[in-house]
Amino acid sequence: MAESPLREPVLDAKSEVTCQLIDFQWKLGMAVSSDQCRSLKYPYVAVMLKVADHSGQVNSKSIEMTIPQFQNFYRQFKEIAAVIETV
């Protein structure tokens, strides 16, 4: 996903239920080293999403992404904002 160009907005929802995003927290991290790789030097963005389903139940989901993935995500969000204004 990180390397894919801007995708056409095709949504064939695999999830049954739509949720509301209540809040999200983010952090920008740098993985420095690991037992497998002493010189990891890997920057990443981690988000913690707080979502509520239709019944009001709140869940948290944490998702990590590479910098290019985040930038793609951000770019797509800007496109959504542009489209939603014109609808």
Partner 1 sequence: MAGELEGSKSLSGLLSGLAQDAFHGHPGITEELLHSQLYPEVPLEEFRPFLAKMRGILKSIASADMDFNQLEAFLTAQTKKQGGITCEQAAVISKFWKSHKTRIRESLVNQSRWDNGLRGLSWRVDGKSQSRHSAQIDTPVAIIELEFGKSGQESEFLCLEFDEVKVKQTLKRLSEVEESISTLMQAA
**Binding positions for partner 1, rule: CB under 8 A:** 1, 7, 9-21, 24, 26, 28, 30-31, 34, 36-46, 49, 51, 61-67, 69-74, 76-78, 80-81, 83-85, 87
Instruction: Output the smallest distance, CB 46 to partner 1, in A.
Output: 7
Q: Are 51 and 19 in contact (CB under 8 A)?
A: yes
Instruction: Output the smallest distance, CB 27 to partner 1, in A.
Output: 9
* Other beta carbons less than 10 A from residue 28's beta carbon: 10
Beta bridge partners of 52: 20, 58
Instruction: Output the smallest distance, CB 75 to partner 1, in A.
Output: 10
Among 73, 46, 78, 74, smallest CA distance to 60 is for: 46
